[in-house]
Amino acid sequence: MTVCRTRQGEVRGRTSPDGVTSFLGIPYAAPPFGALRFRAPAPPEPWSGVRDATAHGPTAPHAPYAPPFDALIPDEVVPGEECLNLGVWSPAPEPGAGLPVMVWVHGGAFTNGSGSASAYDGSAFARDGVVCVTLNYRLGADGFLRLPGRPDNRGLLDQIAALRWVRDNIASFGGDPGRVTVFGESAGAMSIGALLTAGAARGLFHRAILQSGACHHFLRPPSAELVAARLAEKLGIEPTPEAFDGVPLEELLPAQAQLRAEVGADPDPARWGEAALNMMPFEPVLEDLALPGPDSGVDLLIGGNREEYRLFLVPTERLAVFPESSLRALTAAYGLDPAGALAVYRDARPDATPGELLDAVATDWFYRIPAVRLAESVPGSYLYEFAWRSPRFGGTLGACHALELPFVFDRLHDPSYAPLLGSDPPQALADAVHGAWVSFATTGRPGWQAYDRTHRATMTFTGDGSGPVEDPRARERLLWEGVR
């Protein structure tokens, strides 16, 4: 057992046979319940003696994923109120080691997920000389519902509180608080996109990796108020923090899940505002889209997966039956002229079905184009595309959303990833992807040319002939000029 000191007290971790020491379930803020519910995170209480940190702590309350995603996406539920906690993996847990630090922000559409899942075990990063931190933050209504008189974006405030904990304590675990890289996927990456322009987060991290998410997913205040009113209506209460505080979690969590399903089934902008297209009723609440610009002071690695949207089309069997009329309507809702835009997408995919074209268009709208715009806003950024295709679902799942995660964490044989990966995923690709992430966190360079408007170099991870590509699918990218 190894003991490290934090500002709140000492913690005891566990060292594995390969020399990595983990410290789990460390509180970085007080339990966000009772008088602290729907408020900014408060400092954790100090403790005396040595606190055992050999098991994950509670996760933020959330309902399970709806089928079929509950069987595909790693999730973890540990009950308890002390849910604002984090884990640390270190190869040298003593002051003075000065190792680079990576802080993971999990995804899950702002309603699911946790940093405690075995899928996000940080051992491989520690093995390669990085102190890895994973964290839990408030989700759903507790984290992101807009309520009068209470701070917006409490989930983001939790993430900032965790980053402050890292600044104040990580040196005790062998990390360098002046070399912190945040990395996240999906809602985690979108969170980082918001943190890039948040004054309270400035200086807390120095590099950032955004996987399948950028600065584009948010709700303006009027839309957030529509969501709050609809959730209150479902629960039969007023949209006030006091009223929500009186709703038991066993009622609130199913209502949140139903609300998300309603947004997906009836994406009416008059009813949901921005949530209608984003299909996520709980998101950061911001006045408008903000890009960090050239003076951000943060090095960026940004990208996504080539066929992200197939995760939402293939397991639900929508890929094969999606109608042409709906494809045209969604393309128009995204701000494109359906006739001209779909002709360009079809030209590159002459045999594609409407569902396959929807995957291409929606992947661009949700993920690829926002990544390009963020890279354009911060000179010297690095761009990537993950293009290895899963053999699952007869090969139709493709390079879908979340598929890069086991390669990033170098955990190809974690059972929780098997439903997405299938059998015998390529270890050489994990070596390349994980290695690029470690290199970026360590040196600021992942191993290929930086992105610029002239060459638009994009590293393409295929598992067979991976390498940088200049401006992939340029004709399709140009369609989105001037579109949000």
Residues annotated as catalytic are 186, 308, 401
Using alpha carbons, select from 348, 351, 353, 433 the residue that is nearest to residue 388. 433
The CA distance from 307 to 478, in Å, is 19
What b/e string do you get for 444-460 counting C-beta neighbours within 10 Å, with b at 16 or more? bebebebbeeeebbbbb
The CA distance from 308 to 360, in Å, is 8
User: How far is Cα of residue 446 from the mean position of the Cα atoms in its chain?
Assistant: 20
Which distant-in-sequence residues (6+ apart) come within 8 Å of 128 by Cβ?
434, 435, 438
